[in-house]
Structure 1
Amino acid sequence: MLFNSISFAIFLPIVFVLYWFVFGKNLKMQNRLLLVSSYFFYACWDYRFLFLLIFSTLLDYFTGIKMYEAKSTKMKKWWFWLSVCVNLGFLGVFKYFNFFAASFSDALLLLGFKANPAVLNIVLPVGISFYTFHGLSYVVDIYKDRIKPERNFVDYSVFVSFFPLLVAGPIERATHLLPQIRQQREFNYPKMVDGLRQILWGLFKKVVIADNCAYYANMIFNHSSDYSGSTLALGALFFTFQIYGDFSGYSDIALGTARLFGMELLRNFAFPYFSRDIAEFWRRWHISLSTWFRDYLYIPLGGSKGGMWKKVRNTFIIFIVSGFWHGANWTFIVWGALNALFILPLIIFNKNRNNLEIVAKGKQLPTLKEFLSILLTFSLTTLAWIVFRSENMGHAYNYISGIFSRSLFTIPEILPIKTIVLVCLFIVIEWLGREHQYAIENIDVKVPKFGRWAFYYAIVACIVYYAGAEQQFIYFQF
């Protein structure tokens, strides 16, 4: 069930009406409704994998309680590692088994041995990386005595499987979402309006920006050997805006939908393409995953303590693991390593926390220095996205080599003016709203009612008339 589908447009109002106008005074029934709705939402993708979600939930629910009740450190560790190993085991089998089998076979081939590795002909369960990380953060926090286990199974299950975030995040923390699930929620009209506004903007990002860019990005990447350097550069730009519009659009819809039910999810994007360096970019891109790796991997490894060597080592570890989290392909691992290389000078010269505030705060335009910094950061990010999007490292090498050729200075063979204009308008709106949680959050304060509604109707008209061919959300494959 896609967020931008007719089925979701029917599903959401039904759940909303039942939630507020049938069970509005009964918290237990509201949470049960959310759980049943979330399981139905997930089953619409593939009901066969619903058991995996339920099993993962049961595992972490019971191991959390067992850790808390353990009478010795040894037993506490046993329950902790049981949960971690089973969770990562499922993730490894479904997501990484074939990758490791193929890589092992290739390594043997280099040594002169031929092998026929066994591969699993299985479908990757949608959202497995996200709900696995929900559970892992929960058991780690209990193990570290940061939280107590949740005794109410329904409440814990809603935390893991709440349908707005179930298949592509944001990756929530028990400390943030569980208290909201436990407490009574009241209907708040301004919050509902704000949620609908963010959903509308998310749909625009996905349907108008991402899907239109996807059409040309796919055309150029899939036939990259046929195009000039200028066209390949344009294809890279299209993918850069596709993945941002797609994933941040999903996150906007997820956050807006959660707000309709009285809950606030973690912010996942903060205008990353306006970043002035790579460190700032990673504080603004997929924030819930970046902070997850910071808290549960980078800091336990020692973080920034212990000298420059450990800083560099830990940085490379989290970026490579982050790349591998995205998928079983060397392109993702190299993409992570590239970002580690890009951020390395900032860490060495202790400048990785220079840009904590949004660029040109309180101003209309950035300074020339800020603009050039944004342009450089955007260019490095786009270069890395080429590797991320490529089918394999050979494809990535050929694509980048094709860009940096004499044909870079020719007129592109593909020049979709409509899509380029839409992207430019999108950039302007994002820039004007960059100091808020999402681009059009403050439109009801800054714009008179007539202008505000005219803008809403214009957005709806764009969604209706300029929607690209329907594409599945990119991060569903991760």
Structure 2
Amino acid sequence: MVFSSLFFIFAFLPATLILYYSLGKQLRNIVLLTASLFFYAWGEPVYVLLMCSSIMINYCIGTLLVRDDASRQKRKFFLIISLVFNLGCLAYFKYFGMIINTIAPIGGWNLNAGTPALPIGISFYTFQILSYVIDVYRGKIRPQKSLILFALYITMFPQLVAGPIVNYGDIESQLADRSINFKKFYSGMQRFLCGLAKKVLLANNIGLLWSEVKAMPGTEISVLMAWAGIIAFTLQIYFDFSGYSDMAIGLGKMFGFRFKENFRYPYTSQSISEFWRRWHISLGSWFKEYVYIPLGGSRVGKWKLIRNLFMVWFLTGLWHGASWNFVLWGLYFGTLILIEKLFLQKSMTRWPKIVHHVYLLLFVVIGWVFFEFSNLTDGLGFLWIMFGVGGNGLIDNQAIVKLKAYAVLYIVCIIAASPWPKMLALLFKRIHCNIYRLAVNVYYSVLMFFLTTYMVSSTYNPFIYFRF
């Protein structure tokens, strides 16, 4: 089940909200936990058992870590059990085929291992479980005594299948007691509709262009067409993923939770390092907290800094998928960030802003080529076409036709990926507060009508991060 489906919006969500608010405060967590398990079982009925097993095992380990008779060796042993179990499940379901198919040629074995069906959201909820167990081990948080509340933390459907990754410490108090009022609920509904619009109206439509370009033979793609296509993907993946995060944050508010932001206009960044502080913030924070800082962070010598960065970015790439193109993509950005830290940081302060933006967008767009093409040969071939080697020349009529057809959508996407709309809205609110309130209500009513109409008539509704 996805948020951008008619069943979710007009059946599952209303039914859950009605039960949640009508059955009283004492049953709200039970309602939300039951709804979350149903939500997951809708597409993954078998893997609900895996998730429940993981919940039970890690709940018990969290309790064992703080027992009075638990020595340091025992606590470390329990932590290792949790790491082995959780990372073992992730490795088996996500990386088994990749591991076997990589080592088989080295050993001269004739194997072609298929990858088991990937449980949706396993990368996200595994990281949440790991952060909980590690923080209990470190003494940063107390273990959750209630199995129901711990299970709710892991299974909560607003952020279960595609984040943001929520640390237990950030919502510990909210699990037991949270304030709910109409203002927060209405704000959450608005945030959900904004995210839904990003996904349905922008990501899906600009993604159609990329799907057409990607399906074309390389000999028929001009330089202009290649850039038009990959820029379309650059916009698609942003609106696809940030739209989902907006919907998750909005849903959280509707149920009384506050989730941290996951995107802050990343394409307006001035450097690669800043871009990754603004893109998928919860994942970057997780790797910083549980990998980068334990390795020593940046307060080490040059060679250890290189090791730390490459370790983090190797794992970041690998987290995104069981394919070597993701590892290459991760190491690509790790290398760029290392170059900035060691060589460019001082000189970049003297660059004009336009140079910063060109530099940032150029390397990010190139990076999305590595991300999108699982076959490295195809990806490198597409890069060659982008820079004028092979392909169908510099400009062709087909590219011009496509650009004319998508020109308005490009402009809307570029504006929507910037803070300008929000800044203008706040300015208008300051000048005409009463008119602003009326305009907002009309806007969201009209937006809901268009979203419903589009979802009824459209069949193209992919979600990129579901495969992670």
TM-score for the superposition, normalised by structure 1 = 0.89
Superposed counterparts of 1:325-340, under 5 Å: 325-340=319-334
- Would the aligned equivalents of 1:443 and 1:452 in 2 still touch at CA under 8 Å? no
Partner of residue 2, structure 1: 2
Superposed counterparts of 1:68-87, under 5 Å: 68-69=66-67, 70-87=69-86
Q: Which moved more, 1:468-477 or 1:405-414?
A: 405-414
Superposed counterparts of 1:263-342, under 5 Å: 263-342=257-336
Kindly indicate whether residue 236 of structure 2 is the aligned counterpart of residue 238 of structure 1.
Answer: no
Q: Which moved more, 1:395-404 or 1:307-316?
A: 307-316
Q: Which moved more, 1:393-402 or 1:339-348?
A: 339-348
Tell me the CA shift for residue 335 of structure 1: 0.3
Tell me the CA shift for residue 425 of structure 1: 1.8
Partner-residue secondary structure (3-state), 2:374: coil
What does the per-residue CA deviation read over 1:132-160, in whole Å, with 9 as the maximum and x for residues that have no partner?
00100001001111111111000111111
Partner of residue 37, structure 1: 35
Instruction: Provide structure 1 residue ranges, at least 5 long, that are not aligned to the other structure.
Output: 356-366
- Would the aligned equivalents of 1:230 and 1:412 in 2 still touch at CA under 8 Å? no
Tell me the CA shift for residue 118 of structure 1: 5.5
Q: Which moved more, 1:11-20 or 1:91-100?
A: 11-20
CA distance in 2, matches of 1:32, 1:267: 26
- Would the aligned equivalents of 1:130 and 1:171 in 2 still touch at CA under 8 Å? yes
Counterpart amino acid of residue 15 in structure 1? T
Tell me the CA shift for residue 422 of structure 1: 2.3
Partner of residue 395, structure 2: 410
CA distance in 1, matches of 2:28, 2:440: 33
Counterpart amino acid of residue 36 in structure 2? S
Kindly indicate whether residue 195 of structure 2 is the aligned counterpart of residue 202 of structure 1.
Answer: yes
CA distance 1:322–1:12, change in 2 (3 Å): same
CA distance 1:188–1:242, change in 2 (3 Å): same
CA distance 1:4–1:66, change in 2 (3 Å): same
Tell me the CA shift for residue 186 of structure 1: 3.4
Tell me the CA shift for residue 165 of structure 1: 0.5
Match of 1:393 among 364, 370, 376: 376
CA distance in 1, matches of 2:418, 2:80: 46
- Would the aligned equivalents of 1:198 and 1:441 in 2 still touch at CA under 8 Å? no
Q: Matched residue pairs, number?
A: 456
Partner of residue 211, structure 2: 218
Identity fraction in percent? 33
- Would the aligned equivalents of 1:214 and 1:239 in 2 still touch at CA under 8 Å? yes
Tell me the CA shift for residue 464 of structure 1: 4.9
Counterpart amino acid of residue 303 in structure 2? W
Counterpart amino acid of residue 307 in structure 1? G
Tell me the CA shift for residue 369 of structure 1: 2.1
Q: Which moved more, 1:440-449 or 1:294-303?
A: 440-449
Partner of residue 52, structure 2: 54
Superposed counterparts of 1:94-173, under 5 Å: 94-108=93-107, 113=108, 115-117=109-111, 119-120=113-114, 122-173=116-167
Partner-residue secondary structure (3-state), 2:159: coil
TM-score for the superposition, normalised by structure 2 = 0.91
Tell me the CA shift for residue 419 of structure 1: 3.6
Partner of residue 180, structure 2: 187
CA distance in 2, matches of 1:179, 1:222: 49
CA distance in 2, matches of 1:374, 1:101: 41
CA distance 1:7–1:464, change in 2 (3 Å): closer
- Would the aligned equivalents of 2:240 and 2:463 in 1 still touch at CA under 8 Å? yes
CA distance 1:342–1:224, change in 2 (3 Å): farther
CA distance in 1, matches of 2:420, 2:180: 27
Tell me the CA shift for residue 237 of structure 1: 0.6
Cα RMSD between the aligned structures? 2.5
Instruction: Provide structure 2 residue ranges, at least 5 long, that are not aligned to the other structure.
Output: none
- Would the aligned equivalents of 1:224 and 1:232 in 2 still touch at CA under 8 Å? no
